[in-house]
Chain A
Amino acid sequence: MKHRLTLDYSVPVGDLAPYFDALAEGKALASECSGCGFVAFPARNLCGACGCRDMKWRQLEGSARLLFRSDGNSSFALVKFDGADTKSTVGLIHPERTTQTGELAAPLGDAPGLWLALADDNEGNDDGK
């Protein structure tokens, strides 16, 4: 039996719309807890640290440092964006580069994932200074 199924989803993002709107422009909009100040990127609707429901937005610079990276058919990394209290998983742009830093980039195509453009090898190995 053969059956081909093509699905075209349109998913409302609700209260996280400001985060996704910013991400589409390559900007890092984090959530900040009004109670404990915990900054989450990607943004959250509820504080992951204290459970507070009162969240506000905080613009980050979009720069990040790699903690771990994995390479195969594609390259991904666990990174820490400057100003965030969480770590983030990102797809890597310019994975051939060996630098440990990069900048958030606008998503490739229409999928709202996190993409990090690695800095040029001559610019990124500055030990974060």
Chain B
Amino acid sequence: MISDVLIAGGAMTPFNRRKDGSSFRDWARAAVFKALEDAGLEAADIDTLIVASESDFFTLQLNPAALLADECGMIGVAAKRVEGGGASGHVAVHAGVAEVASGMSRRVMVLGVEPSASHLKGVDVGALYGLSFDAWTDGMTGIDSTSLYALSAQAFMARTGATTNDFAAIAVANRAHARANPNAHLPLDISLQDVETSPVVASPYRRLDCSPLSDGAAAIILGRKQDLPSTARCRARFRAVSNSVDTVRLGERRDPGCFHGKHVAAQRAYTAAELSPVDIGLAEVYDSYSGAQLQALEALGLGSDEIINAARDGVFAADGALPVNLSGGLLGQGAPVGATGVAQVLTAALQLEGRYFGLQAGHAPRFALVDTHGGIATLNAVSILEAP
């Protein structure tokens, strides 16, 4: 169990498609400066900067950690960049936790940033995302993320009896949650029929089943209580972090509809935290596609063994026993890749502290779970946070 790594403060920019001429450097500065303010710290107090950014092809900037340290007034800081596909932000948070827990650094800034929407055309981003899997096999066939997720979803549906209506219900709920989130990309008031009549992207997925490409940044500061100012000492802390990789090729998985790597990561996290799934009172999970949220919840062991019935019974609703993705998730809040996992952790921490700026859990959860993955649940990062 991790005993003393706190989320001293944090901030995020709105996630959306920027049309105001601002750059990822501007978003990074905004997130970093607000995070420092939230923690009651100065840039000079930071020992290490860890930057999460999925691809240099998005930023058109190699060595982004050094650039962003300079941009954000942290010359002299130790800096590194961490990458793990869609989980880049969350993996960077894990690197920051290790940095603090080991005593290597007293205070770590984790900064996630990605211009996933505004720098390149969607078709070019899609082509790059196709290299997120096995680039020599799947990537060279030209298969896109949506089609791979669609094939996995079909295997999940065949095994569990999940329907496109179950998927659509998640697309609707997460967009509804996003309506209370001022930073959300898609705060939509939509119906099941809207989802089920939106254009087919890759069957069974339709446009409204898919998360958007977003721009944005998020930053959190990690430290031990003794190294933080008094304002930051009563913040949420990490109980456990875990990571597990599954086979890169979907076809090599025993059940291509099962997110087994995520299951392993979650079980390790529960063991390390000395908790079980029933202890979790809130979750932010990786809903790159509507059906992927159900697949994730099943793998994480949340709800019950009958995941579809739990979803239909409202267990994961905002007023349910285990609220999921009150931020709107990727479907509603958006997905600037490097920033996504950082924002998920920030959201969970603020919920546990009762400071969340969007839809708050109806009860006061003691433990929250954060789940992010890269590839198609290939590299899986799980964190369990505890309320102050």
Contact = CB atoms under 8 A, between A and B. Distances in A.
Q: Is chain B a partner of chain A in the same complex?
A: yes
Contacts of A114: 137, 141
A67 B151 CA distance: 9
B143 interface: yes
A68 B142 contact: no
Given A72-B147, A89-B148, A114-B141, A40 B252 contact: yes
Interface size class of B (residues with CB under 8 A): 20 to 34
Contacts of A90: 141
A48 B245 CA distance: 13
Contact of B203 (A13, A72, A88, A112): A72
A60 interface: no
Given A68-B155, A74-B147, A89 B203 contact: no
Contacts of A72: 146-147, 150, 200-203, 205
A5 B148 contact: no
Contacts of A77: 151
B351 to A, nearest CB: 35
B136 A48 contact: no
Contact of A115 (B141, B151, B247): B141
Contacts of A113: 137-143
A93 to B, nearest CB: 11
A113 to B, nearest CB: 3
Of A5, A11, A87, most B-chain CB atoms within 10 Å: A87
A42 interface: yes
B154 interface: yes
Interface size class of A (residues with CB under 8 A): 20 to 34
A72 B137 CA distance: 20
B202 A89 contact: no
Contact of A89 (B60, B151, B247): B151
A71 interface: yes
Contacts of A13: 136
Nearest to A77: B151
Contacts of A89: 137-138, 141, 143, 148, 151, 249-251
Interface in A45-90: 48, 67-74, 76-78, 86-90
Contacts of A11: 136
Nearest to B247: A48
Interface in A29-53: 40, 42, 48
A87 B251 contact: yes
B151 A68 contact: yes
A70 B136 contact: no
B355 to A, nearest CB: 37
Interface in B128-177: 134, 136-144, 146-148, 150-151, 154-155, 158
A73 B142 CA distance: 12
B112 to A, nearest CB: 23
Interface in A3-34: 3, 5, 11, 13, 16
A74 B142 contact: yes
Given A48-B247, A48-B252, A70 B142 contact: no
A71 B205 CA distance: 9
A90 to B, nearest CB: 7
B256 interface: yes
A67 B250 CA distance: 13
B140 A107 contact: yes
A111 B252 contact: no
A71 B151 contact: no
A39 B139 CA distance: 21
Contacts of A76: 141, 143, 147-148, 151, 202
A71 B252 CA distance: 22
Given A48-B252, A89-B250, A70 B147 contact: yes
Interface string A111-122: 111110000000
Given A70-B203, A89-B151, 16 more contacts: A13-B136, A16-B136, A40-B252, A68-B151, A68-B256, A70-B150, A72-B147, A72-B203, A74-B142, A78-B256, A89-B137, A89-B251, A111-B141, A112-B137, A112-B140, A113-B142
Interface of A: 3, 5, 11, 13, 16, 40, 42, 48, 67-74, 76-78, 86-91, 107, 111-115
5 contacts: A42-B137, A70-B151, A76-B143, A91-B142, A113-B138
The 6 closest A-B pairs by CB, nearest first: A113-B141, A87-B251, A70-B150, A72-B202, A113-B140, A68-B154
